[in-house]
Amino acid sequence: MTTGEKYVSAAVNHRKRIPVDMGMALIIMLLLCFGSVMVFTASYPYALSTYGDAFYFIKRQIFWAIAGSAGMTLCAAVGLSFHKKYTSVIGFTVALICLVLVLMSGASIKRWLNLGFFSFQPSELMKPMLILFVSLYMEKYRDIIKRNGIGKLGRVYDKRKFRAASVYGTFIPVGIVAAVCVLIMLENHFSGTLIMFCIGAMVIFGGGSVLRWFVGAGSVLVVGVFAVLFGTDYASERIEIWLHPERFSVRDETWQITQGLIAIGSGGLFGSGLGNGVQKHLYVSAAHNDFIFSIVCEELGLVGAVVVIALFAAFVVRAVSIAKRAKSIFGSLVALGIAGHVGLQAFLNIGVVTGTIPNTGVTLPFFSYGGSALVVLLCECGILLAVSADT
């Protein structure tokens, strides 16, 4: 064996000892570390004025980041077969029960389930569980869906196969997604409903749903969602504020978006410098949460904003690459769903902060402050790494 062949053999053996996608792992850790730094710089004025401790939020965020990282490691270590056999069904069932319990709890804000020692949003847990469950379903009925009785020119040559593929490949999975969306919509959580619908649709479409029924069912659901949105005072008011901000008070309804845009505009190319922002000093509401991207823009400028967007783009591209390399349909659909979830949520948050879309209350993954949401997100990333190890 030549020296060159030895180096190649060593590289191959080294790759076998590191089964997960290290590129994706690096992207996840960069997003997590960058986000934690921004949580601190965006939160310390509010933390100091409210709790008398500038480190109040970052201490908790670091704790949850460590807990989430441990969960991510565990989810990656147990392997994809474990998630396919246990997590997909048990996790989805638990998340579904929690969504029902939230509606029965009588809480004023029907999004949080309080367990006494711990509270969380079941809708956050449902996002990865829906991806897993629908992916498992689409793989289980893959053969029926694939043999859809449709010829190359789009003509149905076997009505029996077409009906079976339509029922198992579109109507049933769309019904599952629709049921989850209804439960979340009853919480007045419209952004969560939108995200759930989109990630469910991505997995169903990726699983080979009959296109004509998929488009039809999707159109009906979209019309239904928008009908509810425009028919609900809470949601319609947000849309009206977005379309006609001049009709509302800058000190009340449009305060948050106005201050956020001021932060973005004042950042310029390179920003005011990390920690030197002004708008986080009780001007931008929820500066460490929904509107943390505006603080990124103010302190790190256009360059910092582009870096954040590039990291999310890299996450999505890498996840899609993992989906393409996955050995099983289940793994491929899971990776695709996770890519869609993180990418869509980042897009919606940045769209809200920049005034491109109405305020939806969507957080920025890895960046916005939040304990249970961060832990669930990192565990979801662990599942993605488990998929990458199965390529």
Q: For the segment 40-76, what is each residue's pLDDT rounded down to a tens digit?
A: 999 999 999 999 999 999 999 999 999 999 999 999 9
Q: Minimal CA–CA distance to 66: which of 363, 378, 290, 385? A: 378
Q: Left, alpha or beta for 365 (phi > 0: left; psi -120 to 50: alpha)?
A: beta
pLDDT at site 185:
85
pLDDT at site 13:
45
User: H-type helices in the chain, by residue range?
Assistant: 3-17, 22-51, 56-77, 80-82, 92-104, 122-140, 142-146, 159-166, 172-185, 190-206, 211-231, 233-243, 255-267, 292-325, 329-353, 371-388
Q: Note if the pTM is more than 0.95.
A: no
326 CB contacts (<8 Å, ≥6 apart)?
332, 334, 335, 387, 390, 391
Half-sphere exposure for 90 (CA within 13 Å, toward CB)? 6
Ranges of residues in the chain with a pLDDT under 50 are 3-4, 6-17, 108
- 110 three-class SS: coil
Q: Rounded to the nearest 5 degrees, what angle is found at the Cα of 40, between the Cα atoms of 270 and 256?
A: 70
pLDDT at site 8:
40
Q: Rounded to the nearest 5 degrees, what angle is found at the Cα of 330, between the Cα atoms of 327 and 333?
A: 100
Residue 163 burial class via C-beta count within 10 angstroms: exposed 0-12, middle 13-18, buried 19 and up: middle
State CA 57 to chain mean position distance: 22
pLDDT at site 360:
75
pLDDT at site 93:
96
Looking up tokens 């309080």 gives 114
pLDDT at site 362:
87
Distance CA 141, CA 207 (A): 9
pLDDT at site 6:
45
pLDDT at site 250:
60
For 54, the token pair is 């500038």
Q: Do the beta carbons of residue 45 and residue 281 sit within 8 Å? A: yes
Burial per residue of 216-244, b for 16 or more beta-carbon CB atoms within 10 angstroms, e otherwise? ebbeebeeebeeebeeeeebeebeebbee
